[in-house]
Amino acid sequence: MRVVYLIHSLHRSGGIERVLSLKAGALAAREGFEVWIVTFRQRGRPPFFPLDPRVKTLDLGVNDKSPLGGRRLRSRLDAALARIRPDVTVSLCGRDLFQLSRLQHAGKRMAEFHFSHSKFHSEYGGTALGRLYAGYRLRRFTRAASALDCFVVLTCADRDYWQVRLPGVDVRQIYNPLTFQPERTAPLEAHRCVAVGRLEYQKNFSALVRAWSDVHAQAPDWTLDIFGDGSCRKALERQIAAAGLAEAVHLCGRSRQIPEELLSASCVVMSSRFEGFPMILLEAASCGVPMVSFDCPHGPAELIREGENGYLVPLGDTQALSQAILRVIGDGGEAALRHRRALGAEARRTSEAFTLERTMDRWEALLRTVAGRRA
Please state which architecture CATH assigns to domain 2-177+355-371.
Answer: 3-Layer(aba) Sandwich (3.40)
Domains 2-177+355-371 and 192-354 share a fold: yes
pLDDT for 120-162, tens place per residue?
Answer: 888 888 899 999 999 999 999 999 999 999 999 999 999 999 9
pLDDT for 175-216, tens place per residue?
Answer: 999 988 899 999 999 999 999 999 999 999 999 999 999 999
Is the predicted pLDDT of residue 224 greater than 70, yes or no? Answer: yes
Query: CA 245 to CA 128: how far, in whole Å?
Result: 35
CA-to-CA dists, residue 286 to 34, 177, 189, 351, 352, angstroms:
30, 11, 17, 5, 7
pLDDT for 16-39, tens place per residue?
Answer: 999 999 999 999 999 999 999 999
Reported confidence tier of residue 96, pLDDT bands at 50, 70, 90: very high
Query: CA 240 to CA 191: how far, in whole Å?
Result: 19
pLDDT for 244-282, tens place per residue?
Answer: 999 999 999 999 899 999 999 999 999 999 888 898 999
Query: CA 155 to CA 364: how far, in whole Å?
Result: 19
- At 367, phi and psi to the nearest 5? -60, -40
Question: Domain 192-354 adopts which CATH fold?
Answer: Rossmann fold (3.40.50)
Instruction: State the distance between the two ends of the chain, measured CA to CA, in whole angstroms.
Output: 17
Evaluate whether 331 touches 312 at the Cβ level (below 8 Å). Answer: no
Query: CA 145 to CA 115: how far, in whole Å?
Result: 14
- At 124, phi and psi to the nearest 5? -115, -10
Half-sphere exposure of 24 (CA within 13 A, CB side): 29
Give the global pTM.
0.83
Is the predicted pLDDT of residue 163 greater than 90, yes or no? Answer: yes
- Spatial CA neighbour of 13 closest among 354, 289, 258, 205: 258
| Helix (DSSP H) and strand (DSSP E) numbers for the chain | 13, 13
Order of strands, sheet of 2-7, starting from the edge strand that comes earlier in the sequence: 56-59, 34-39, 2-7, 88-91, 108-113, 150-153, 170-173
Residue spans of the domains in the chain: they are 2-177+355-371, 192-354
Q: Taking CA 44 as the corner, what is the angle to CA 41 and CA 45, rounded to the nearest 5 degrees?
A: 85
Strand ranges, E, within the chain: 2-7, 34-39, 56-59, 88-91, 108-113, 150-153, 170-173, 192-196, 223-227, 249-253, 267-270, 291-294, 310-313
Is the predicted pLDDT of residue 375 greater than 70, yes or no? Answer: no
Evaluate whether 297 touches 119 at the Cβ level (below 8 Å). Answer: no
Query: CA 156 to CA 12: how far, in whole Å?
Result: 27
Is the predicted pLDDT of residue 332 greater than 90, yes or no? Answer: no
Is the predicted pLDDT of residue 68 greater than 80, yes or no? Answer: no
